[in-house]
Amino acid sequence: MAKPEIKAQMLPSVRGRYTENAPLGAVGWFRTGGTAEVLFKPADRQDLVDFLSACPLDVPVTTLGVMSNTIIRDGGLPGVVIRLGRDFAEIEAEGEAYIRAGAVALDVNVATVAAQHGIGGLEFLSGVPGTIGGALKMNAGAYGRELKDVLVSAEMVDRQGVIHKVTAKDLGMSYRHTTVADDVIFLGALLEGQPDDPVQIEGRMAEIKGRREATQPIKAQTGGSTFANPSLAELEGTDLPSDTKAWQLVDKVGGRGLKIGGAMMSELHANFMINTGDATAQDLEDLGEEIRRRVKEQTGLELRWEIKRIGIPAAKRNLQ
């Protein structure tokens, strides 16, 4: 039996804006994918809380940031998609060693503001695509550091509209993973660095930028690392070295430069998937699954997606 469509008039009154059949793929980093049944942009924090408190629990709710590591399937997202706006993008220095950042503050901007205030230790964020909210959700990291290493506390709101203050321990942070529920929405975080010379900090950020430009297809339509590096536990029982990286596995199975439709694994960095111009979301997902199939067949290892794939495949849209 088909599920009833969600319309804006069925939802709680808000001060923000509802948009029906809102395109999502066009604004994501892959520049492909489906639409939101209803897109909600809350006016501010209280508007978000009020919406969640009043919205029936059987209405699907999904939160998206800048979609730097997300594939929106071609059939789109049912229910309500929440995208936070400028009120959630603030970045402020507190004292000599702390930065408070909203959930949609870009990671690179957080690193930049920290550098301007002589707060070191957050430079790695300049190499992390996306926002603080997304980084919290997956414990993002780069160049040997992860968000859990600098997180003092975070604020999040649950599906019932209740705000919680949490720590890295509360979130169960591990490599590219947290135990937080899928429907939790992060509001912001307090991060800790240490006083340092702004010139030295900027020098380290310039080095990170140079390394990224030399080794990653950052100007392409991409979503960052496609697969997570395998853990020691995952490598046990295989013939692979204990320091095996995901890109090495993609290379091992002939994945570098492999194409399906308009999707291709980058020639520059084998663990980066790119839209060459006309890829569908299905092309991207099919390419990733082909890589995973080859790795499993040849090594016995199950490669884990680092990119999120959400929504309904186009062929199944009318079956929901």
Active site members? 176, 225, 306
Cα–Cα distance, 165 to 122 (Å, whole number): 21
Question: Residue 193: CB partners within 8 Å, gap ≥ 6?
Answer: 97, 98, 99, 114, 119, 120, 121, 122, 150
Element (H, E) at 46: helix 45-54
| CA distances to 61, 141, 220, 280 from 31, in Å | 22, 24, 10, 9
Q: Is 200 left (phi over 0), alpha (psi -120 to 50) or beta?
A: alpha
> Pairing mode, if any, of strands 77-83 and 35-41?
parallel
Cβ atoms of 247 and 269 closer than 8 Å: yes
Cβ atoms of 125 and 135 closer than 8 Å: yes
Cβ atoms of 232 and 248 closer than 8 Å: no
Edge to edge, the sheet with strand 185-192 lists 91-94, 98-102, 185-192, 151-157, 163-166
Q: What is the largest CA-CA distance in the chain?
A: 63
Q: What is the DSSP string of 246-293?
A: HHHHHHHTT-TT-EETTEEE-SS-TTEEEE-SS--HHHHHHHHHHHHH
Tokens found for residue 68: 């730097």
Q: The tokens 């339509």 sit on which residue?
A: 221
Distance of CA 22 to the CA centre of its chain: 20
